[in-house]
Amino acid sequence: MPNFFANLPLLMGQQPGGTGAQGGSSMITMLATFALIIVIFYFLIIRPQRKKQKDTQSMLSNIRKGDRVSTIGGIRGTVHAVKESTVVLKVDDNTKIEFNKNAISAVLERREEEAPEAAEEKKE
């Protein structure tokens, strides 16, 4: 009895029996499957990554003096000054450290914006 596994590569290389139309439909099925994999890949990996990147850019561009932030190294402080690409954090009473804006991982607490009426009341 011939060994089935020895002949398996020969059997796999044979064309399926039937008409030529059957080969065309398998090509369409293969392309549809490939397109479906690309769509799933986009919605599961690429789209969420872009959304997270957009949210991070928005957070970094809206950092203001007085915000409490945390860095990627775990240092927490209050924003003392904001420059174009750097942020100066006040960590302690006499300690100020300058960081690249990209080193800010999270805004812990936003500075409260004064309402226009409250600002006018303070002046009077």
* CATH label, 64-110, candidates 1.25.40, 2.60.40, 2.30.30, 1.10.760: 2.30.30
pTM, two decimals, is 0.58
What is the C-alpha to C-alpha distance for residues 28 and 46, in angstroms, rounded to an integer?
Answer: 26
Looking at residue 82, what is its pLDDT?
94
Looking at residue 35, what is its pLDDT?
94
Looking at residue 11, what is its pLDDT?
64
Q: Are 78 and 67 in contact (CB under 8 A)?
A: yes
Task: Give the CA-trace dihedral at 84, 87, 88, 91, to 10 degrees.
Answer: 170
pLDDT digits (tens, 9 = 90+) for 6-38: 766 666 665 555 554 455 688 899 999 999 999
- 85: Cβ–Cβ under 8 A, 6 or more apart, which residues? 100, 101
In 83-123 the beta strands, taken as DSSP E runs, fall at 86-92, 95-100, 104-109
What is the C-alpha to C-alpha distance for residues 39 and 111, in angstroms, rounded to an integer?
Answer: 41
Looking at residue 87, what is its pLDDT?
95
Report angle CA 110, 115, 116 to the nearest 5 degrees: 140
**Length of the chain counted residue by residue:** 124
Mean pLDDT per 10-residue section of the chain, whose length is 124 residues? 66 56 75 94 94 94 93 95 94 94 92 59 54
Q: Tell me the three state secondary structure of residue 98.
A: strand
Looking at residue 26, what is its pLDDT?
86
